[in-house]
Structure 1
């Protein structure tokens, strides 16, 4: 796991990249979230899509809802960076669309887009 920090609009954003899967369930999400938040003193985190279990993107598993609820409960703004075009599920695409309209969870295609969303989130 590689963690770097940037500050934009007075907000510290943790930019995390991992070649291994970090998020597989609620507990792994909580552990990862708290580790990153503690190390960076930030409540805004980006993570590359490849660091998230593929089961997350199958809404029937309920993993996405469980994990993202942890981020919301702990007031951690979270952006997932990646190419989501291979997902054809209407419900998943609707879910990502609705998340992007909010202020806590974002599905974006670039690090810069993640920084922009997280630095402006209320």
Structure 2
């Protein structure tokens, strides 16, 4: 795993780069969140491929539990990916509602947050 630091609207952003699934469960999410929180980051950007596929199955409640932790610590999370491939109306509604706010966002590309 590699962390690339960026500035975004006077905030410290952590772009997480990995070829592996980093978040398999709530504990993995808390470790990543805690590590980056204590390094002074305000926003974390991860690719959907770094999350277990169970995250995108809302029946597992994993997404809700993980996003609740990010909200508790007031750490913004941006998940980058192609979410249209998931044939779940519930997931699409969940993404739509999350994107109405600023705490957790699902985006197709990171360019909005990370500019060269």
Q: Same fold (TM over 0.5)?
A: yes
1:45 aligned partner: 44
Counterpart secondary structure, 2:7: strand
Query: Residues 1-122 of structure 1 correspond to what in structure 2 (within 5 A)?
Result: 1-39=1-39, 41-113=40-112, 115=113
User: What is the CA-CA distance between 1:8 and the residue it aligns to?
Assistant: 2.4
> Structure 1 length as normaliser, TM-score?
0.88
User: What is the CA-CA distance between 1:77 and the residue it aligns to?
Assistant: 0.4
Task: Show structure 2 runs of 5+ residues with no match.
Answer: none
Equivalenced residues, count: 114
Relative contact order (C-alpha < 8 Å, sep 6+): which is higher?
A: 1
Deviation >4 Å, runs of 4+: none
> Structure 2 length as normaliser, TM-score?
0.93
**C-alpha RMSD of matched pairs (Å):** 1.2
Shifted more, 10-19 versus 52-61: the winner is 10-19
Task: Show structure 1 runs of 5+ residues with no match.
Answer: 117-122
Counterpart secondary structure, 1:21: coil
